[in-house]
């Protein structure tokens, strides 16, 4: 059996990925920060599928909490094959409207969080000379978005980090890839009005916004044997909005 740790795993794309991993027979650790009740409900759902599951709390912006989270996963599972860095926050507004604390928190979660999680799992993966890491960026990390400059900057950094880390870890048989979703029907986009969502769907060549399950399918693909010769890549389930 293989085992995955998914940060931001209690909701949205992370939760959809947890369900898909479990349906494929993987053990899953659901990382969460605030959503304890959701994480525990999801764990029971995964266990009902016949796989081991665990909820682990931690703020990915805090290296000490991340280290404890990974230690708890390894204590429970004794093995970790996949890390999915799905935890993230967003900010919508003019760059002149974001204050210093908001800017720092965005980078602390979206960029530092990815780094902390990778650093925490690497000793185990390097010892085994095996593993895969999937980061979650955004199409705005590829092309940038008006009124989301700070968010775009963090997600662009995730893509660059992924590509560089893939080169560094390839000789150790550890693959590192990125999923850069488009507009997905998650709580992160709940601040968008129905008119905004309709406009984005209209701009998308496939004529709709995506589902968490569609983004999760890209994550699970990059984590599995089907992608064994892929590393340093960005897979973008965005309906053709960004090409």
pLDDT score, position 118: 98
pLDDT score, position 20: 98
pLDDT score, position 194: 84
Angstrom distance (rounded) from CA 60 to CA 185: 23
Residue 66's nearest CA partner among 32, 18, 105 is 32
- b/e 114-150 (16+ beta carbons within 10 angstroms → b): bbbbbebbbebbeeeeebbbbbbbbbbbbeeeeebbb
Domains of the chain are 3-235 (3.40.50.720)
161 as an active site residue: the answer is no
Q: Among the options 3, 32, 151, 161, which is catalytic? A: 151
pLDDT score, position 237: 98
pTM: 0.97
Angstrom distance (rounded) from CA 62 to CA 129: 26
pLDDT score, position 195: 86
pLDDT score, position 192: 76
What token pair was written down for 149?
């400059």
Regions in the chain scoring below 50 on pLDDT: none
pLDDT score, position 154: 98
pLDDT score, position 193: 79
């Amino acid at each position: 059996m293989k085992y995955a740790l998914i940060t931001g795993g209690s909701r949205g794309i992370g939760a959809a990925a947890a369900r898909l991993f479990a349906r494929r027979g993987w053990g899953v650790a659901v990382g969460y920060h605030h959503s304890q009740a959701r994480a525990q409900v999801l764990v029971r759902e995964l266990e009902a599928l016949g796989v081991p599951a665990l909820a682990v709390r931690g703020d990915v912006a805090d290296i000490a909490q991340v280290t404890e989270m990974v230690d708890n996963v390894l204590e429970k599972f004794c093995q970790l094959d996949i890390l999915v860095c799905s935890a993230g926050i967003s900010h919508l507004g003019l760059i002149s409207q974001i204050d210093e604390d908001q800017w720092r928190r965005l980078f602390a979660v979206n960029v530092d969080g990815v780094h902390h999680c990778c650093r925490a799992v690497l000793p185990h993966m390097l010892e085994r000379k095996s593993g895969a890491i999937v980061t979650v960026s955004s199409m705005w990390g590829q092309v940038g978005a008006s009124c989301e400059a700070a968010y775009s900057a963090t997600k662009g950094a995730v893509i660059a980090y992924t590509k560089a880390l893939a080169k560094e870890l390839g000789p150790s048989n550890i693959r590192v890839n990125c999923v850069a979703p488009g507009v997905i029907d998650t709580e992160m986009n709940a601040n968008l009005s129905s008119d905004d969502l309709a406009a984005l769907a209209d701009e998308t060549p496939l004529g709709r916004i995506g589902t968490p399950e569609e983004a999760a399918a890209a994550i699970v693909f990059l984590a599995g044997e089907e992608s064994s010769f892929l590393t340093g890549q960005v897979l973008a389930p965005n309906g053709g909005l960004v090409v």
